[in-house]
Copies of this chain bind each other. A is one copy, B any other.
Amino acid sequence: MPDPLSFYFDFSSPYSFVAAQKIDALAARHGRTVDWRPFLLGVVFKRCGMPLMVEQPMKGEYSRHDFLRSMRYHGVEGHIPKDFPVATTAAARGFYWLAEADPELAVPYAKAMFLAYFRDGRPIGTRDTVIAIAEEVGADGAAFANALQDPAMKDRTRDAVEEAIARGVFGAPMVFVDGEAFWGLDRLTMVDDWLFRGGW
């Protein structure tokens, strides 16, 4: 069995949202699975000394237009939530807890989180919403709520962000195929071709 693809994303990233609708099927076409790895884009940008894309001069305006255009291009229904971007610390922390406590639920939770935010406009920056989404996919709400406050889970999430940075993740989404990094939604076509041809 070949290694899974590593899929790095932030729950508040529109390009990650679109990629999240596509990545499992893309990998499956090549007999691969996907290792989902949420991280915190805000922490990474801060570490790099870069402003968030939507805050960059000119590029910010372009990207807001391009988010919606990219969704239409990829046939994914969605929009930019009123409150955008939001902090995704709680959402990520909940993911890493589920990945240990109830691993079958982690990816469904991640997919539900994206749809809740970009399709339904729910405020996923809030603890209550994150807990509600965890419950909706079948998690134990009380245990999940406790985990969000657990110092061990805070550490686990911080470690995940550090691991992403150490691997060279500077944006989202970012996909690794056997050590080869591909940055951006635009590159899913290239990932597909890389898997098909075994590199080039």
Contact = CB atoms under 8 A, between A and B. Distances in A.
Given A72-B200, A190-B73, A200-B72, A56 B50 contact: yes
Interface in A53-102: 56-59, 61-62, 65-66, 69, 72-73
Given A49-B57, A170-B57, A181-B62, A187 B186 contact: yes
A181 B65 CA distance: 10
A56 B186 contact: no
Nearest to A72: B200
A140 interface: no
Contacts of A61: 168
A183 B62 contact: yes
A189 interface: yes
Nearest to A44: B58
A73 B180 CA distance: 14
A168 B61 CA distance: 9
A61 B73 CA distance: 30
18 contacts: A47-B57, A48-B57, A48-B58, A50-B50, A50-B56, A56-B170, A57-B170, A58-B169, A59-B171, A61-B168, A62-B168, A62-B170, A65-B181, A66-B183, A73-B190, A73-B193, A184-B186, A189-B189
Interface of A: 47-50, 56-59, 61-62, 65-66, 69, 72-73, 165, 168-171, 181, 183-184, 186-187, 189-190, 193, 200
